[in-house]
Structure 1
Amino acid sequence: MINQTETNKQWLNSKETQRALKISGCQLMHLRESGKLQFKKVGRAYFYWVASKIN
């Protein structure tokens, strides 16, 4: 499980990731499902590794 300190420093939630990449929620889901973004699921929320790169 991701602790709060680690989340604040290294992981972005879905909305923050969408804003940073300038993409929709649907596009974010497709990137996640295709394996182009590293993510963790905590409960019902997804967190994305900020160092992840899209090929």
Structure 2
Amino acid sequence: IEFIWIIVISAIIILFLGGICYRCCIYDPEQEQMIEDLEQDLNQIITRSWSRGSQME
């Protein structure tokens, strides 16, 4: 379980920092929608793994 959390947390940090850099450097309204979709997918993945982790405990 701990290994999964390391991957999830690293992915959040990378995507968060990458998202900030991306918005600052290359701002494109069409791309903005894609980023929002990716963030929603990420949130769903986090909540799923969170509920799985809670069930395992």
Give the structure-2-normalised TM-score.
Answer: 0.29
Q: Which has the larger radius of gyration?
A: 2
Structure with larger RCO (C-alpha < 8 A, sep 6+): 2
The structure with more helix, counted as a fraction of residues? 2
The structure with more strand, counted as a fraction of residues? 1
Give the structure-1-normalised TM-score.
Answer: 0.29
